[in-house]
Amino acid sequence: MGAIHVRHGQNVTWEENRTTGSGGPEQWTVRTKPYFEPAEIGMMLRVVEYAPDFVVEAHSHAASEMIYILAGQVSIGENRFGPGDAIHIEPNTVYGPLRAGAEGVRFLLLFTGVPGMTSAA
């Protein structure tokens, strides 16, 4: 028999990757709110935020990926995306760099399996 899995947003906490700038205070660069993980339901669902002007170098993932922009802007290569835009990336497709806009970006991220990540460098 099937199951319904639920996560209430107020019960899911942000996870932050923090870095220290050149002599400045420690700041977050990427924040994720992990709702579901592949080991639990076979897919991964997260809300992700990139800090202003944050860059992710070209890379690929082993699973199919969907991105839905909630706020801010991000460019992938020469293409710019904003709120309401959706992007589907097939498995093992090299893409990037991703560059967050001047005000950062918040997006919904869905992987249809275990994402894995391979740098294009």
The CATH number of 45-115, from 3.30.70.580, 3.30.460.20, 3.10.28.10, 2.60.120.10, is 2.60.120.10
Contact between 22 and 77 under an 8 Å Cβ cutoff? The reply is no
- Tell me the per-residue pLDDT of 60-70, one tens digit each, with 9 for 90 and over: 998 899 999 99
What CA–CA distances, in Å, run from 1 to 4, 39, 112?
10, 19, 21
Query: Global pTM?
Result: 0.87
Q: Sketch the domain layout of the chain as residue ranges.
A: 45-115
Name, in order, each residue with C-beta under 8 angstroms of 98's C-beta and a sequence gap of 6 or more: 50, 55, 56, 74, 75, 76
* Mean pLDDT of the region 73-79: 94
Does the pLDDT of residue 24 top 80, yes or no?
no
